[in-house]
Chain A
Amino acid sequence: AQSVAQPEDQVNVAEGNPLTVKCTYSVSGNPYLFWYVQYPNRGLQFLLKYITGDNLVKGSYGFEAEFNKSQTSFHLKKPSALVSDSALYFCAVRGLGSSASKIIFGSGTRLSIRP
């Protein structure tokens, strides 16, 4: 069965510092991986995805994520955090086979950037 884990409920970073939000996955075959962000009282916004190709994927708002097949990870990163990056972040993996149409979400990580 496919699954995705976000081991940290909360990540706190000072503005200007680099940030990392961790994600690991479990899936048979090649994964389709996604990161979404949710601001308060808003829907989910797509940030970036990995389907195939370069392991380093660049997305919206200066975010990037690195696909690491050996560690089954897809950590979200940003070189310099902004206070406006404070939000709830979800990692997701697309299912395979009969579940190929569905996205499975992690539990979410709340990112807090302090000025």
Chain B
Amino acid sequence: SAVISQKPSRDICQRGTSLTIQCQVDSQVTMMFWYRQQPGQSLTLIATANQGSEATYESGFVIDKFPISRPNLTFSTLTVSNMSPEDSSIYLCSGSTGADTQYFGPGTRLTVL
């Protein structure tokens, strides 16, 4: 299994600012993903983070709003840009190897005022 950590664990931000969330995996994983989750709700996939190339975004999510980096097989960042209160959510990082299990980080709880 993979152990995934995220920083920060939570943050309170002002409208119009940006926040970068870091995701670190303790072993190399083939795939990394970023999800958004409202408390008590299901997960919505934002994008697949591709190593060395642009991320693949799901419908409704764009690179200008959620730029993603993945410089190597164990690290990725998600930036939430020009934040509004609607961006308040839990952001989860996930990693997997091939078709096997996806493991999740503890999440970053973001509140935008």
Contacts and interface: CB of A to CB of B under 8 A. Distances in A.
Interface of A: 32, 34, 36, 41-46, 49, 88, 90, 94, 100-103, 105-108, 110
A94 B99 contact: yes
B92 A44 contact: yes
22 contacts: A32-B99, A34-B101, A34-B102, A36-B104, A41-B109, A43-B104, A43-B105, A43-B106, A43-B107, A46-B1, A46-B104, A88-B40, A90-B42, A100-B99, A101-B48, A101-B96, A102-B33, A102-B48, A105-B43, A108-B40, A108-B42, A110-B40
B43 A46 contact: no
Contacts of B1: 46
A42 B31 contact: no
Contacts of A43: 4, 92, 104-107
Q: Interface majority SS on B: helix, strand, loop or mixed?
A: strand
A106 B101 contact: no
B5 to A, nearest CB: 10
Contacts of B105: 43
Contact of B31 (A44, A101, A107): A101
A107 B42 contact: yes
Contacts of B43: 44, 90, 105
Contacts of A41: 109
